[in-house]
Chains A and B, each alone.
Chain A
């Protein structure tokens, strides 16, 4: 099956700055209804990548394809198949939500009657049914976010690009938004590209994640596979001379790295009991101050990828190549 997004040696230059520096990746599977998370620190090139996929920027080299269509040369075909929810407020102030969605639907190619029907349908779907005849300019921030989501899906696109969809939402509205995104992929078979700074949002919703840094892809992970992996992680804090701990752990089949003096991250294979850690600590004359079970969270994946923490034990060095590309 073909990828939803294919990026091949893509370079984008804005003025004198090269924002995207030859990135390549294949994301999602057409028709599978997957969510892809796009992460990266500020200035990493996430927005530029999204805008290039939308055809707003011309690549200086390489190419980007969505559902098999070139984002630059076949922009019309691409745009007919995608929905976009921008990060900032984007609406037409003096229009009611129904009129706004009808307009957006019709511009996307829906016939008049279908656009009106879908406008009502999608407004009820996102929870704005009761206020659909109000002007969008009078909406609260949370309602505007929902209206933005509604306009992105009113025409039933195959790929929905969401830029910071939970920005400014209270916890309940945030959960509602994430639930809607889950439903979009699971019940309606839409593919979702989610760009967010909130790692928990991405972790909750996405099946794949791409991490950008300085215009390059520094990590690409299949979160579904990560979730399914039976590796057990342990955070161990000890007091004492722990210089021999790494070797001692290897003897019992575990692997550990020290993140700071006395702070260890240990990966336990399925056949190694947790009790063996106590025995190893006792043998090494170490006092255990803290022992917590944990799995490799997206936050760790992210921090490792952008170079803020060292590698998690058990990772092979090949997972994060030196040149930063996959």
Chain B
């Protein structure tokens, strides 16, 4: 029977699981974000670098192609932690730009349209909401970070063979953990910007500014107090140091190490989470 003839009847069927409800918002958001042409173009563009890296891996594993170039080329073409560290550095820039484009539209419209009471009057807590929104960005960003990273690692492992994999397996876990940490931090920055700034363009700019301003501030502290530890406050340096630690790449002795930087990143992420939780309330209480 046609819907308009049937009339309204209360739903009395089975209810979906909590996990299924948690994934509803990401599904709707992905649909909306991926309908934006600019986002799709950016995502496609961000896959060029992994393609180049894939070519590099192919070249590195086919020594017959560069036999005439001398001994130094062998060192240059080695697939090791340094190679993946450079890959991650470049790819993280695309991820940051993507987050600054896709992130601001996540929370700001809900706040502007007072939609939070609608969400929170349903079986969805504030933390569920934050997690749902974070899954949106984690999903999008992992497509340009973790997925190509793991594909490259898999490609290298499959071409180079089991011996290479057994001695370099930590590169795979390093890529996965390093990128996860990075996109989680970027997602939190994008969500916090979206929660506190109404205008999407400004919120997007704030995501980028967060990294530049903190980098500038860290350098300033280093210069004024003639110290090195403040580099850990620079999120770009901090995440690089963590990646280097995970990929077994050497870090300069006078700079903060991977553990110090990981602690700073976790602290920063905790602060952003607290900011978000403070802002995301069903009702504004005037005390």
Contacts and interface: CB of A to CB of B under 8 A. Distances in A.
Interface stretch (B14-22, B42-50, B154-162): B14-22
Contacts of B113: 89-93, 137
B216 to A, nearest CB: 35
A67 interface: no
A183 B20 CA distance: 32
Pick the most buried of A16, A57, A106, A190: most chain B CB atoms within 10 A of its CB. A106
B10 A190 contact: yes
Contacts, number: 128
B214 interface: no
Interface in B196-237: none
Interface residues of B, number: 40
Interface residues of A, number: 53
B3 interface: yes
Interface stretch (A115-123, A240-248, A255-263, A299-307): A115-123
Contacts of B12: 156
A125 B7 contact: yes
Contact of A108 (B4, B122, B283): B122
A94 B3 CA distance: 24
A89 B285 contact: no
Interface in B1-31: 3-4, 6-16, 18, 21, 24-25, 28
A31 interface: no
Given A125-B8, A155-B11, A108 B123 contact: yes
Contact of B123 (A14, A80, A93, A99): A80
A219 to B, nearest CB: 26
A84 interface: yes
B150 to A, nearest CB: 30
B21 A106 contact: yes
A110 B10 CA distance: 11
Contacts of B112: 93
A146 B102 CA distance: 31
A15 B32 CA distance: 39
Interface in A65-114: 75-76, 79-80, 82-84, 86, 88-94, 99, 103-111, 114
B115 A92 contact: yes
B10 A56 contact: no
Contact of A124 (B3, B16, B110, B119): B3
Contacts of A51: 282-283
Contacts of B282: 51, 54, 56
Contacts of B14: 111
A137 B109 CA distance: 11
Given A80-B123, A121-B6, A107 B11 contact: no
A151 interface: yes
A109 to B, nearest CB: 4
A188 interface: yes
Contacts of A107: 21, 24-25, 119, 122-124
A155 B7 CA distance: 14
Contact of B121 (A57, A79, A88, A153): A79
B72 to A, nearest CB: 56
A86 to B, nearest CB: 5
B114 A56 contact: no
A91 B115 contact: yes
Nearest to B14: A111
B234 to A, nearest CB: 36
Interface string A8-27: 00000011110000000000
Interface string B259-287: 00000000000000000000001110111
Contacts of A122: 8
Given A92-B109, A121-B8, A114 B117 contact: no
A129 interface: yes
Contacts of A109: 15-16, 21, 123
23 contacts: A14-B287, A55-B120, A56-B283, A75-B125, A86-B114, A90-B113, A90-B118, A92-B110, A92-B115, A94-B32, A106-B21, A106-B24, A108-B123, A111-B14, A111-B16, A114-B13, A120-B3, A121-B3, A124-B8, A125-B8, A129-B4, A137-B113, A161-B121
Given A76-B123, A93-B113, A188-B8, 18 more contacts: A51-B282, A54-B282, A55-B120, A56-B120, A86-B114, A86-B121, A89-B114, A103-B24, A107-B123, A110-B13, A111-B14, A114-B13, A120-B3, A121-B6, A124-B4, A129-B3, A153-B8, A189-B10
Interface of A: 14-17, 51, 54-57, 75-76, 79-80, 82-84, 86, 88-94, 99, 103-111, 114, 117-118, 120-122, 124-125, 129, 137, 151, 153-156, 161, 188-190
